[in-house]
């Protein structure tokens, strides 16, 4: 199975460009012979390396790398199954970061997706920490505008089940990065009530089959570069042996690629999950489908689950978001979760953003992806229009 391993470490001595060239020269013969690809970054003090290849080869190589006396403080950041290589043409390439660099200078032949885990890790390594105290000057000069039109979809035919869609916005690009599909029936009944009426096994079967409708309808909303998030019960993952093939079939029918689907799994529903669940998660990742931990901070599993699952996206629960601009404890939680996300390459999405002051503080703390009524409410069979102008809202406060 193809794997991607990322680590960072600290140089034990001052390193020159010829020293870095020697590292490449030492590494390339093995990498070429064993089909290992990747990238090495160096900022004058710290190394950051991505290794890609067959799992056994990558793990043996990493154990050898740890014995190299040219670096110390070796920290494994990521070790995960993946669907394809991000650096498939490079047996090893080095990039040296200059002071003040950030990852948007990356060379044109590096085509890593900007919403990928690796791109997030590259930026985290290159750009460092963030500020979280909004000054009067920053408030007066904040700029972000997002404007989209309403989209109406024809209800899915011959079905009592429909879906409402709510956008997740990315203020870095000033647009929508993805939509979440929210289960409803024809009279707008919420998923908790719909699923509660079903016996457990039937509930899991229904939950998975309903994704055919969510994906078929959601595919009509997506523009290039956008993704679709759907909620899936952990039991629906572990009790259906064909969960991966069924999801891939739904995606093919909808004309979507696997990486355009994000499975959202709620933290509070995962407390009782076991090794069988995580084995299927590896198969899901290997197929190219991404994972999101939903409502983080509202359940009981907490940080141990976060470490075990290593989601591509973390959705911070609205209970943490509410009044965050005035709450020290909530700010501390946000910083901790954000630091984890940056350190592991997860993308943080903050749910339940309803006021401009909440958004302003979060934006200044470095958050770039948001979901909440401040931008748009869910719309049954469609997506509401968005009009968000940060300068205009700042002037109204």
pLDDT at 103 over 60: no
What is the pTM assigned to this prediction? 0.82
- CATH class of the domain defined by 2-127: alpha beta
pLDDT at 268 over 80: no
pLDDT at 6 over 80: yes
* DSSP secondary structure, 20-33, as one string: HHHHHHHHHHHHHH
What is the per-residue pLDDT across 26-68, written as a single tens digit (0 to 9) for each? 999 999 999 999 999 888 888 899 999 999 999 999 999 999 9
Domain with CATH 3.20.20.450 in the chain: 136-396
SS3 340: helix
Please, what is the average pLDDT of the chain? 88
Look at residue 221 in the predicted model and tell me its pLDDT.
96
Q: Which has more confidence, 364 or 245?
A: 245
Cα distance between residue 387 and residue 296, in whole Å: 27
Q: Which pairs from 297-302 meet CB under 8 Å and 24+ separation?
A: 297/267, 297/333, 297/337, 298/267, 298/268, 299/266, 299/267, 299/268, 299/269, 299/270, 299/271, 300/267, 300/268, 300/271, 301/267, 301/268, 301/270, 301/271, 302/267
Tokens 């394809």 sit on residue: 84
What is the per-residue pLDDT across 314-367, written as a single tens digit (0 to 9) for each? 999 999 999 998 888 888 899 889 999 999 999 999 999 999 999 999 998 899
Look at residue 102 in the predicted model and tell me its pLDDT.
54
Tokens 């994704």 sit on residue: 211
pLDDT at 376 over 50: yes
Look at residue 174 in the predicted model and tell me its pLDDT.
94
CA distances from 369 to 226, 266, 348, 363 (A): 13, 18, 7, 9
pLDDT tier at 101 (50, 70, 90 boundaries)? low
Domain with CATH 3.30.70.100 in the chain: 2-127
Helical H segments across the chain, by residue range: 17-33, 55-65, 117-127, 136-141, 191-196, 200-209, 211-218, 234-238, 243-254, 275-286, 303-309, 318-321, 328-344, 356-365, 390-396
Residues 368, 372, 373: CA angle, nearest 5 degrees = 135
pLDDT tier at 198 (50, 70, 90 boundaries)? confident
Structure tokens that stand for 168 in this block: 């997740």
- Cβ–Cβ < 8 Å for 328, 362: no
Cα distance between residue 278 and residue 284, in whole Å: 10
CA distances from 273 to 175, 238, 270, 278, 385 (A): 36, 9, 5, 8, 38
Highest mean pLDDT among 81-85, 135-139, 165-169, 318-322 belongs to 165-169
Q: What percent of the chain has a predicted confidence (pLDDT) above 90?
A: 54
Look at residue 139 in the predicted model and tell me its pLDDT.
80
Look at residue 130 in the predicted model and tell me its pLDDT.
37
Q: Which CATH superfamily is domain 136-396 in?
A: EAL domain (3.20.20.450)
* CA-based nearest residue to 71, from 149, 125, 14: 14
- Cβ–Cβ < 8 Å for 312, 302: no
C-alpha torsion sign, points 129, 363, 313, 220? negative
Per the rule left: phi > 0, alpha: psi between -120 and 50, beta: everything else, 26 is alpha
* DSSP secondary structure, 33-67, as one string: HTT-EEEEEE-SSEEEEEEEEEHHHHHHHHHHHTT
What is the per-residue pLDDT across 229-243, written as a single tens digit (0 to 9) for each? 999 988 889 888 899
Cα distance between residue 114 and residue 86, in whole Å: 11
């Amino acid at each position: 199975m193809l794997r991607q391993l990322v680590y960072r470490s600290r140089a034990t001595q001052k390193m020159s460009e010829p020293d870095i060239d020697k590292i490449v020269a030492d590494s390339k013969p093995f990498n070429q012979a064993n089909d290992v690809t990747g990238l090495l970054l160096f900022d004058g003090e710290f190394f950051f390396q991505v290794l890609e290849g067959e799992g056994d080869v990558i793990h043996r190589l990493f154990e050898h790398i740890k014995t190299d006396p040219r670096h110390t403080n070796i920290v494994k950041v990521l070790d995960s199954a993946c669907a394809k290589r991000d650096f498939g043409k490079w047996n090893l390439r080095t990039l040296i970061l200059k002071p003040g660099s950030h990852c948007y200078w990356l060379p044109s032949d590096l085509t890593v997706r900007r919403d990928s885990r690796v791109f997030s890790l590259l930026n985290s390594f290159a750009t460092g920490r963030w500020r979280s105290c909004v000054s009067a000057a920053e408030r007066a000069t904040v700029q972000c505008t997002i404007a989209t039109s309403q989209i109406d979809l024809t209800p899915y035919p011959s079905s009592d089940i429909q879906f409402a869609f709510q956008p997740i916005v990315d203020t870095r690009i000033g647009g929508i990065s993805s939509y979440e599909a929210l289960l409803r029936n024809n009279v707008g009944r919420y998923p908790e009530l719909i699923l509660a009426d079903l016996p457990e096994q039937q509930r899991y079967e229904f939950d998975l089959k309903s994704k055919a409708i969510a994906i078929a309808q959601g595919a009509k909303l997506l523009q290039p570069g956008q993704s679709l998030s759907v909620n899936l019960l952990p039991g629906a993952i572990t009790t259906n042996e064909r969960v991966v093939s069924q999801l891939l079939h739904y995606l093919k029918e909808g004309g979507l690629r696997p990486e355009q689907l994000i499975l959202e799994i709620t933290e509070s529903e995962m407390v009782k999950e076991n090794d069988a669940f995580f084995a299927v998660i590896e198969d899901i990742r290997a197929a190219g489908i991404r994972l999101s931990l939903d409502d983080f901070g509202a359940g009981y599993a907490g940080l141990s689950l976060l470490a075990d699952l290593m989601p591509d996206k973390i959705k911070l629960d609205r209970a943490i978001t509410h009044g965050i601009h005035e709450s020290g404890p909530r700010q501390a939680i946000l910083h901790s979760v954000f630091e984890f996300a940056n350190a592991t390459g997860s993308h943080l999405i903050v749910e339940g953003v309803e006021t401009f002051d909440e958004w302003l503080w979060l934006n200044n703390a470095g958050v770039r992806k948001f979901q909440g009524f401040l931008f748009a409410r869910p719309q049954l069979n469609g997506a509401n229009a968005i009009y968000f102008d940060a300068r205009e809202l700042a002037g109204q406060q």
